[in-house]
Structure 1
Amino acid sequence: MPSVKDVCRHVRSKNAGPFWVTFDLFFDGPENFQAYHDHPALGPDLFQRLFGADPALVRHYPVPSLHMVKISHARTSPQGGVVERDMHCGQQFVRLLDVELG
């Protein structure tokens, strides 16, 4: 069963302002983009489970010309808040790498 790291050539995360986090998944070609960009395993439930995100506030933005999908969710607390552990969200993508897309 392939995982995100098996079908993507690059995965990154970053802040999208003080109230949102965004993930960019660059698939390694058009076939994997078509097969996995809207896979249920990458749905709102995953972001709720991994990041505590409100499933109603998870957004998917496919970019077919780049074979990538941007997935954003509202932060559970604002950037720079007392409980902030990764102000720029640069390390958050690691949790996605082993997600199975079976």
Structure 2
Amino acid sequence: MASLLDYCSLVRSKNAGPFTLTFDFVCHDEQTYEALVATGVLAPALFAGMFGTDIEDILVVAHPLALAVKVSLPRPVVQGDLRDADCYAGQQYAPLMDLDLPDLPHS
């Protein structure tokens, strides 16, 4: 099995305003980008389950020219709320690092 780091040179999460959380998955090259998109793992259902958000509120956008996939969803807790343990949302990607992905196809 492979991990996101086998596919991506950059995996990050961050705020997109105080109410929105966004993830960036930037792939090593065109082959890994196409393979990552083909897995279908970065689907709204994954993020809905992880963050308790309705599937309809999750936006997944593939950017083939940037070799990237962007996922945006409502923050589970508004930025700056007393219950907000990650004000800049920079650690929200961490659980995704344990995802099992198919091994990359050989070129």
Name the counterpart of 2:105: none
* Residue of structure 2 equivalent to 1:44: 44
Q: Identity across aligned pairs (percent)?
A: 37
* Alignment-derived partner of residue 79 in structure 2: 79
Q: Distance in 2 between matches of 1:73 and 1:38?
A: 22
Equivalent pair of 1:13/1:24 in contact (CA under 8 Å): yes
Deviations 1:22-59 (A, max 9, x none): 00001111011112136332111211222222211111
Query: Which structure has the greater CA radius of gyration?
Result: 2
Q: Which residue of 2 aligns with 1:60?
A: 60
**3-state SS of the aligned residue for 1:32?**
helix
In the alignment, structure 2 segments of 5+ residues that lack a partner are 103-107
Bigger Cα displacement from structure 2, 58-67 vs 36-45:
36-45
TM (norm. structure 2) is 0.85
Question: One-letter code of the match for 1:33?
Answer: Y
Provide the residue aligned with 1:94 in structure 2.
Answer: 94
Instruction: State the partner residue of 2:29.
Output: 29
The corresponding residue for 1:9 is 9
Moved over 2 A (4+): 37-40
| Structure 2: distance between partners of 1:36 and 1:90 | 22
What is the root-mean-square deviation in Å for CA atoms of aligned residues?
1.5
- 8 Å contact from structure 2 (residues 79, 87) kept in 1: yes
Does structure 2 conserve the Cα–Cα contact (< 8 Å) formed by 1:11 and 1:25?
yes
- Alpha-carbon separation, structure 1, partners of 2:33 and 2:79: 31
Q: Number of matched residues? A: 102
**Cα distance change, pair 19–39 in 1 and its aligned pair in 2 (3 A):** farther
